[in-house]
Homo-oligomer: A and B are copies of this chain.
Amino acid sequence: MSNGVSRRKMLGSMGLAGGVSLLAGCEAALHGASEQKRAGPGEPTKTAAPQARPDAAKGWHYTQLDPTEAAAESYRLMREGGCMYGLFAGIFSLLAKSHGEPFRSFPVHMMKYGEGGVGLWGSLCGTLNGAAAIIGLFEPDKKRRQDLIAEVFAWYERTELPNYSPKQEGEDSLARSIAGSVLCHVSVGKWCEAASEDMGSPNMKERCRRLTADVAAKTVELLNSHLKTSCKFGGLTAEVNVCVSCHGKELRDSLGKMQCGSCHPQLSKKHPALPSKSSPP
């Protein structure tokens, strides 16, 4: 460190400690508690940017949803605006149906920007960007928000997907793959390889549509669980923990929790053996 602040303290503030995190006592947060004290009805607010956030958290309370319904809605809406929009609008559709405002008036069309890793750049998978946005809306506590995001992201990296199958299309099945990354470019590439499909083929698009349904269901399951009782984040992989234990804690030259192997498949000899390894891209 160049500034005398203790390594452990700074590491904590950067969220680089890894390991298992526990989520506890989240009910109040998901019922609308905010990081800042909210003004009562009619009271003026006292934030630093009153024009932009007068009562931002007001009314944005998550209530239990049916993961199966969320999957079906997200699957249906994905065709209208891509993966991030499909996930976000699918969940919002159910919330608006139950509660009306403020969900009805939210400009969900904006979420179309996330398609194909944001504007087809191949960066963060739009389903995860949408899931994290939903979590950001309902969980004002920084640590709990990050733990919920980590739970969805880690599940996505490690799970063979897609699992969703639309009833109206019968017993058809698609190839499944483990993304090994939260990045669209890697995730889609892995699936195309596993399925022997071209990028942009109808089956690839159907894979992303079903993946949107899967991530929507997972997000709703997590938020439901988080609403009722404490939730657990299972922690980073053994491989990432080994990488982070040195690059995060000692060398302090790396920020992130993504699986390392998808971009760093070959390591120089000075690196220790890894307990497991992501496949190279």
Contact = CB atoms under 8 A, between A and B. Distances in A.
A57 interface: yes
A123 B157 CA distance: 13
Interface string A40-56: 00000000110111111
Interface stretch (A12-20, A163-171, A209-217, A222-230): A12-20
B119 A133 contact: no
A15 B197 CA distance: 18
Contacts of A111: 133, 136
A237 interface: no
Contact of A184 (B5, B13, B128, B255): B255
Given A10-B200, A52-B89, A121-B258, A136 B110 contact: yes
**Copy count, this protein chain:** 2
A248 interface: yes
A56 B88 CA distance: 13
A232 interface: no
Interface of A: 1-3, 5, 10-11, 13-16, 34-35, 48-49, 51-57, 60, 73, 76-77, 80, 89, 92-94, 96-97, 102-114, 116-124, 128-129, 132-133, 135-137, 140, 142, 145-146, 149-150, 153, 182-185, 188-189, 192-193, 196-203, 248, 252-258, 262-264, 281
